[in-house]
Amino acid sequence: MTTATATKPNHALTNCKGQLENIIELYKLSQQEADWNDERDIEEEARDMALDVCWKSDDWQAVGDQANFTPTKGRVLLTWGGPACQVVCDIEDGYPTNPEIQWQDWGTPWTMSSFQSEDALEWFINLFWWGE
């Protein structure tokens, strides 16, 4: 006799995948010719996904904070709590590079998602201001 082991759904991973799918959809719409609906601001929709935009050197600080430091990492928080989702990137000379989407649930560390979309994430992360 064999018994099937029930697998517990990973709501944090499902949440992350849904956030990435939204980013990909908006990215694809942004790449279309100018015949799209003028009433729909695709870039604004994408920016509105962010709950928080931070950068860090030694500690996370609000973007635009006047402290003397050189930011090396950026984060766009998309959802928080359990589950949570964020897009993180490196910051080089005020420009974001190497974005990746991550997920987290209660009691688990931030984990890079196994599914990524480099072009869409590059487009998304560049919608935010990372300069000084």
pLDDT, one tens digit per residue, over 81-112 is 889 999 999 998 888 999 999 999 988 899 88
Do 16 and 102 touch, CB atoms closer than 8 A? Answer: yes
Residue 67: which pLDDT band, with cuts at 50, 70 and 90?
Answer: low
Residue 94: φ, ψ to 5°: 85, 5
Compute how many other C-beta atoms are within 10 angstroms of the C-beta atom of residue 10: 14
Do 125 and 118 touch, CB atoms closer than 8 A? Answer: no
For the chain, percent of residues with pLDDT exceeding 90 = 46
Residue 60: which pLDDT band, with cuts at 50, 70 and 90?
Answer: low
CB crowding 101-117: b at 16 or more within 10 Å, else e:
bbbbbeeeeeeebeeeb
Give pTM, 2 decimals. 0.81
- Mean of per-residue pLDDT scores for the chain: 84
Mean pLDDT on 35-50: 80
| Nearest partner of 86 among 120, 125, 117, judged by Cα | 125
DSSP state of 10: -
> Pairing between strand 73-79 and 60-62?
unpaired
Tokens of 2: 């064999």
Compute how many other C-beta atoms are within 10 angstroms of the C-beta atom of residue 71: 21
